[in-house]
Structure 1
Amino acid sequence: MPYAASHQPQPPTRDAVDALPGTTVLEFGTPWCPHCLRAQPFIEHALKDEETTHIKVEDGPGQRLGRSYKVKLWPTLVVLKNGQEVARVVRPTSQAEVDEALGAAQD
Protein backbone atom coordinates (compact mmCIF):
# COMPACT_ATOMS: atom_id res chain seq x y z
CA MET A 1 0.00 0.00 0.00
CA PRO A 2 1.88 3.09 -1.20
CA TYR A 3 1.16 6.74 -0.44
CA ALA A 4 -2.27 7.37 1.11
CA ALA A 5 -3.69 10.70 -0.04
CA SER A 6 -6.38 11.01 2.62
CA HIS A 7 -6.69 10.43 6.34
CA GLN A 8 -8.33 7.26 7.58
CA PRO A 9 -11.85 7.84 8.90
CA GLN A 10 -11.03 5.74 11.98
CA PRO A 11 -7.45 5.37 13.22
CA PRO A 12 -6.16 1.91 14.02
CA THR A 13 -5.58 0.89 17.61
CA ARG A 14 -2.09 0.89 19.07
CA ASP A 15 -2.27 -2.92 19.38
CA ALA A 16 -3.09 -3.21 15.67
CA VAL A 17 -0.19 -0.91 14.74
CA ASP A 18 2.24 -2.79 16.99
CA ALA A 19 1.33 -6.02 15.17
CA LEU A 20 1.92 -4.66 11.64
CA PRO A 21 4.55 -6.62 9.69
CA GLY A 22 7.20 -4.96 7.53
CA THR A 23 7.71 -1.23 7.15
CA THR A 24 4.94 1.19 8.08
CA VAL A 25 4.84 4.97 8.04
CA LEU A 26 2.35 6.54 10.43
CA GLU A 27 1.68 10.12 9.40
CA PHE A 28 0.02 12.23 12.09
CA GLY A 29 -1.57 15.52 11.05
CA THR A 30 -4.74 17.12 9.73
CA PRO A 31 -6.06 17.93 6.25
CA TRP A 32 -6.01 21.68 6.98
CA CYS A 33 -2.54 21.96 8.59
CA PRO A 34 -0.25 24.14 6.41
CA HIS A 35 2.88 22.25 7.56
CA CYS A 36 1.19 18.96 6.62
CA LEU A 37 0.19 20.24 3.20
CA ARG A 38 3.72 21.53 2.54
CA ALA A 39 5.23 18.12 3.42
CA GLN A 40 2.92 16.05 1.18
CA PRO A 41 5.07 16.18 -1.97
CA PHE A 42 8.09 14.90 0.01
CA ILE A 43 6.08 12.07 1.58
CA GLU A 44 4.41 11.08 -1.68
CA HIS A 45 7.72 11.04 -3.55
CA ALA A 46 9.43 8.96 -0.86
CA LEU A 47 6.65 6.37 -0.86
CA LYS A 48 5.92 6.14 -4.59
CA ASP A 49 8.06 3.06 -5.25
CA GLU A 50 8.22 1.70 -1.73
CA GLU A 51 6.50 -1.43 -0.48
CA THR A 52 5.60 0.40 2.67
CA THR A 53 2.28 0.67 4.46
CA HIS A 54 1.31 4.35 4.82
CA ILE A 55 -1.31 5.16 7.42
CA LYS A 56 -2.46 8.76 7.52
CA VAL A 57 -3.95 9.51 10.94
CA GLU A 58 -5.97 12.65 11.60
CA ASP A 59 -4.63 13.77 14.94
CA GLY A 60 -5.93 16.14 17.58
CA PRO A 61 -6.67 16.53 21.27
CA GLY A 62 -7.78 13.30 22.88
CA GLN A 63 -6.70 11.09 19.98
CA ARG A 64 -5.20 8.03 21.65
CA LEU A 65 -2.89 6.82 18.90
CA GLY A 66 -1.13 10.18 18.58
CA ARG A 67 -0.79 10.49 22.34
CA SER A 68 0.66 6.98 22.59
CA TYR A 69 3.46 8.14 20.24
CA LYS A 70 3.80 11.46 22.09
CA VAL A 71 3.01 13.47 18.95
CA LYS A 72 3.11 17.21 19.63
CA LEU A 73 3.60 18.83 16.20
CA TRP A 74 2.20 18.10 12.76
CA PRO A 75 3.09 16.46 10.58
CA THR A 76 4.94 13.79 12.50
CA LEU A 77 6.05 10.73 10.56
CA VAL A 78 6.77 7.66 12.65
CA VAL A 79 8.58 4.93 10.74
CA LEU A 80 7.99 1.42 12.08
CA LYS A 81 9.66 -1.88 11.29
CA ASN A 82 7.54 -4.82 12.40
CA GLY A 83 5.63 -2.55 14.78
CA GLN A 84 8.71 -1.01 16.41
CA GLU A 85 9.67 2.64 15.91
CA VAL A 86 12.96 2.99 14.02
CA ALA A 87 12.80 6.65 12.99
CA ARG A 88 10.75 9.79 13.32
CA VAL A 89 10.68 13.10 11.50
CA VAL A 90 8.71 16.10 12.69
CA ARG A 91 7.65 18.84 10.25
CA PRO A 92 9.92 17.76 7.40
CA THR A 93 11.04 20.62 5.17
CA SER A 94 13.07 18.63 2.65
CA GLN A 95 12.98 15.41 0.68
CA ALA A 96 16.20 14.32 2.37
CA GLU A 97 14.60 14.32 5.83
CA VAL A 98 11.80 12.00 4.73
CA ASP A 99 14.15 9.75 2.73
CA GLU A 100 16.53 9.45 5.69
CA ALA A 101 13.72 8.42 8.04
CA LEU A 102 12.49 5.76 5.59
CA GLY A 103 16.05 4.55 5.10
CA ALA A 104 16.24 3.68 8.80
CA ALA A 105 13.74 0.88 8.18
CA GLN A 106 16.02 -0.65 5.54
CA ASP A 107 18.93 -1.20 7.95
Structure 2
Amino acid sequence: MSEDNSLEDIRKKKREQLVEEDQGANAPSEPIHVNGQAELDEAVQQYDVVLVDFYADWCGPCKMLEPIVQSLAEETDAAVAKVDVDANQQLAGQYGVQGVPTLVLFANGQQAEQMVGVQQKEALAQTIAKYS
Protein backbone atom coordinates (compact mmCIF):
# COMPACT_ATOMS: atom_id res chain seq x y z
CA MET A 1 0.00 0.00 0.00
CA SER A 2 2.82 2.41 0.66
CA GLU A 3 3.87 2.09 -3.00
CA ASP A 4 0.35 3.05 -4.07
CA ASN A 5 0.41 6.07 -1.77
CA SER A 6 3.81 7.23 -2.99
CA LEU A 7 2.77 6.73 -6.62
CA GLU A 8 -0.36 8.77 -5.97
CA ASP A 9 1.75 11.48 -4.28
CA ILE A 10 4.03 11.61 -7.32
CA ARG A 11 1.02 11.93 -9.64
CA LYS A 12 -0.44 14.69 -7.48
CA LYS A 13 2.83 16.65 -7.53
CA LYS A 14 3.10 16.24 -11.31
CA ARG A 15 -0.47 17.52 -11.80
CA GLU A 16 0.33 20.57 -9.64
CA GLN A 17 3.45 21.26 -11.72
CA LEU A 18 1.47 21.03 -14.94
CA VAL A 19 -1.18 23.42 -13.63
CA GLU A 20 1.52 25.92 -12.63
CA GLU A 21 3.15 25.66 -16.06
CA ASP A 22 -0.22 26.16 -17.80
CA GLN A 23 -0.92 29.29 -15.78
CA GLY A 24 2.35 30.88 -16.87
CA ALA A 25 1.83 29.80 -20.46
CA ASN A 26 -1.28 31.93 -20.87
CA ALA A 27 0.75 35.13 -21.21
CA PRO A 28 0.97 36.18 -24.86
CA SER A 29 4.31 35.77 -26.62
CA GLU A 30 3.89 39.13 -28.37
CA PRO A 31 3.56 42.57 -26.75
CA ILE A 32 0.00 43.85 -26.37
CA HIS A 33 -0.58 47.40 -27.61
CA VAL A 34 -2.72 49.20 -25.04
CA ASN A 35 -4.84 52.28 -25.65
CA GLY A 36 -6.35 53.77 -22.52
CA GLN A 37 -6.84 52.91 -18.88
CA ALA A 38 -9.57 50.31 -19.51
CA GLU A 39 -7.32 48.20 -21.75
CA LEU A 40 -4.42 48.47 -19.29
CA ASP A 41 -6.69 47.50 -16.38
CA GLU A 42 -7.93 44.50 -18.37
CA ALA A 43 -4.37 43.29 -19.06
CA VAL A 44 -3.30 43.78 -15.43
CA GLN A 45 -6.34 41.80 -14.23
CA GLN A 46 -5.95 39.03 -16.81
CA TYR A 47 -2.25 38.23 -16.23
CA ASP A 48 -0.34 37.69 -12.98
CA VAL A 49 2.68 39.71 -14.07
CA VAL A 50 2.54 42.52 -16.64
CA LEU A 51 5.49 44.60 -17.82
CA VAL A 52 4.24 47.87 -19.33
CA ASP A 53 6.54 49.74 -21.71
CA PHE A 54 5.63 53.43 -21.97
CA TYR A 55 7.33 54.50 -25.21
CA ALA A 56 7.29 57.02 -28.07
CA ASP A 57 7.91 56.33 -31.75
CA TRP A 58 10.41 59.22 -31.98
CA CYS A 59 12.43 58.02 -28.96
CA GLY A 60 15.87 56.53 -29.76
CA PRO A 61 16.27 54.70 -26.42
CA CYS A 62 12.74 53.27 -26.87
CA LYS A 63 13.84 51.79 -30.19
CA MET A 64 16.88 50.27 -28.44
CA LEU A 65 14.58 48.71 -25.83
CA GLU A 66 12.15 47.31 -28.42
CA PRO A 67 13.98 43.99 -29.13
CA ILE A 68 14.55 43.45 -25.40
CA VAL A 69 10.85 43.91 -24.64
CA GLN A 70 9.95 41.63 -27.55
CA SER A 71 12.22 38.84 -26.31
CA LEU A 72 10.91 39.19 -22.74
CA ALA A 73 7.38 38.67 -24.08
CA GLU A 74 8.56 35.49 -25.81
CA GLU A 75 10.78 34.10 -23.06
CA THR A 76 9.15 34.98 -19.73
CA ASP A 77 5.84 34.27 -18.00
CA ALA A 78 5.01 37.97 -17.97
CA ALA A 79 2.63 39.63 -20.36
CA VAL A 80 4.19 42.67 -22.02
CA ALA A 81 2.07 45.72 -22.78
CA LYS A 82 3.14 48.74 -24.81
CA VAL A 83 1.68 52.21 -24.31
CA ASP A 84 2.41 54.99 -26.82
CA VAL A 85 2.75 58.06 -24.61
CA ASP A 86 1.87 60.45 -27.47
CA ALA A 87 -1.46 58.71 -28.01
CA ASN A 88 -2.06 58.11 -24.28
CA GLN A 89 -0.78 61.24 -22.54
CA GLN A 90 -3.34 61.07 -19.73
CA LEU A 91 -2.53 57.43 -18.99
CA ALA A 92 1.21 58.18 -18.96
CA GLY A 93 0.56 61.06 -16.58
CA GLN A 94 -1.39 58.81 -14.21
CA TYR A 95 1.70 56.61 -13.82
CA GLY A 96 4.10 59.53 -13.41
CA VAL A 97 5.84 58.98 -16.72
CA GLN A 98 8.12 61.96 -17.24
CA GLY A 99 10.64 60.37 -19.57
CA VAL A 100 10.59 57.54 -22.06
CA PRO A 101 11.12 54.70 -22.01
CA THR A 102 9.51 54.04 -18.65
CA LEU A 103 8.75 50.48 -17.61
CA VAL A 104 6.11 49.70 -15.01
CA LEU A 105 5.77 46.18 -13.63
CA PHE A 106 2.47 44.98 -12.21
CA ALA A 107 2.24 41.84 -10.10
CA ASN A 108 -1.05 40.36 -8.92
CA GLY A 109 -2.94 43.47 -9.99
CA GLN A 110 -0.71 45.95 -8.16
CA GLN A 111 2.08 48.22 -9.37
CA ALA A 112 5.29 46.66 -8.04
CA GLU A 113 8.22 48.36 -9.85
CA GLN A 114 8.95 51.37 -12.06
CA MET A 115 12.13 51.86 -14.09
CA VAL A 116 13.14 54.76 -16.33
CA GLY A 117 15.50 54.44 -19.27
CA VAL A 118 16.90 51.50 -21.20
CA GLN A 119 17.33 48.44 -19.00
CA GLN A 120 19.43 45.34 -19.58
CA LYS A 121 17.49 42.24 -20.58
CA GLU A 122 18.96 40.14 -17.76
CA ALA A 123 18.01 42.71 -15.11
CA LEU A 124 14.46 42.90 -16.43
CA ALA A 125 14.17 39.11 -16.57
CA GLN A 126 15.33 38.89 -12.95
CA THR A 127 12.81 41.52 -11.88
CA ILE A 128 10.03 39.63 -13.66
CA ALA A 129 11.15 36.34 -12.08
CA LYS A 130 11.01 37.93 -8.65
CA TYR A 131 7.24 38.38 -9.08
CA SER A 132 6.41 35.28 -11.17
Do the two structures share a fold, i.e. TM-score over 0.5?
A: yes
1:7, distance to aligned residue in structure 2 (A): 4.0
Matched residue, 1:20:
45
Aligned residue runs from structure 1 range 39-58, under 5 A: 39-58=65-84
Distance 2:60 2:131 in 1: 27
Matched residue, 1:101:
127
Q: Any idea what the Cα deviations from partners look like across 1:8-58, whole Å, max 9, x if unmatched?
A: 4x3333882586141111110112211100111222222212232221110
* Greater relative CO, 1 or 2 (CA 8 Å, sep 6+): 1
Aligned residue runs from structure 1 range 1-107, under 5 A: 1-4=28-31, 7-8=33-34, 10-13=35-38, 16=41, 20-21=45-46, 22-60=48-86, 63-106=89-132
In percent, how many aligned pairs have the same letter?
19
Provide closer, same or farther for how the CA distance between residues 50 and 18 of structure 1 changes in structure 2, counting only shifts above 3 A. closer
* Count of equivalent residues: 104
TM-score by length of 2: 0.64
Check the 8 A contact 1:87/1:105 in 2, yes or no. no
Query: Greater Rg, structure 1 or structure 2?
Result: 2
1:65, distance to aligned residue in structure 2 (A): 1.4
Root-mean-square deviation (Å) = 2.7
TM-score by length of 1: 0.76
For the residue of structure 1 that corresponds to 2:75, the secondary structure is coil
Structure 1: runs of 5+ lacking an equivalent: none
Richer in helix (by share)? 2
1:97, distance to aligned residue in structure 2 (A): 3.0
Structure 2: runs of 5+ lacking an equivalent: 1-27
Provide closer, same or farther for how the CA distance between residues 31 and 16 of structure 1 changes in structure 2, counting only shifts above 3 A. same
